[in-house]
Amino acid sequence: MPNDKINQILAEIAAAKATTPDELEAYRMRFISKKSVVGELFVLMRDVPNEEKREFGQLVNGVKQAAEEKFQALIQALESNTKKTKTSGLDLTLPPGNLPVGGIHPLTATRQRIIEIFERIGFNLSEGPEIEDDWHNFTALNFPENHPAREMQDTFFIEKKPDVALRTHTSSVQVRVMEREKPPIRTLSPGRVFRNEAISARAHCIFHQVEGLYVDENVSFADLKQTLYHFAKEMFGKDTRVRFRPSFFPFTEPSAEIDISCLICGGKGCSICKGSGWVEIGGSGMVDPNVLENCGIDSVKYTGFAFGMGIERIAMLKYQINDLRLFTENDIRFLQQFRPLL
Kindly list the residues in this chain that would bind ligand PHE in the complex (CB under 6 A).
169, 171, 211, 249, 252, 255, 283-285, 306-308
23 or 253: whose CB is closer to ligand PHE? 253
Smallest gap from residue 146 Cβ to ligand PHE (A):
20
Least separation in angstroms between CB 239 and ligand PHE: 26
Which CB sits closer to ligand PHE, 57 or 299?
Answer: 299
Closest distance of CB 155 from ligand PHE, Å: 12
Distances in Å between the alpha carbon of 327 and those of 50, 206, 310, 313? 87, 11, 13, 11
Beta carbon of residue 301, minimum distance to ligand PHE (angstroms, whole number): 21
Angle at 188 between CA 186 and CA 189, to 5 degrees: 140
- Which CB sits closer to ligand PHE, 110 or 153? 153
Cβ count near 316 (within 10 Å): 22
Q: Name which of 36 and 255 has its Cβ closer to ligand PHE.
A: 255
Beta carbon nearer to ligand PHE, 31 or 138:
138
Nearest approach in angstroms of CB 338 to ligand PHE is 26
Nearer to ligand PHE, 36 or 209 (CB): 209
Q: Which of 89, 328, 303 is nearest to 204 (CA)?
A: 328
For residues 224 and 305, the answer to whether their CB atoms sit within 8 Å is yes
Neighbours of 263 (CB within 10 A): 18
Minimum distance from residue 255 beta carbon to ligand PHE (Å): 6
Of 302 and 307, CB closest to ligand PHE: 307
Cβ proximity to ligand PHE: between 297 and 306 the closer is 306
| Smallest separation (angstroms) from ligand PHE to the CB of 241 | 20
Q: How buried is residue 11: exposed, middle or buried, by Cβ count under 10 Å (0-12/13-18/19+)?
A: exposed
C-beta of 283: minimal distance to ligand PHE in Å?
3
Q: Which is nearer to ligand PHE, 40 or 257 (CB)?
A: 257
Smallest gap from residue 99 Cβ to ligand PHE (A): 41
Q: Which residue in the shown chain puts its C-beta closest to ligand PHE?
A: 308
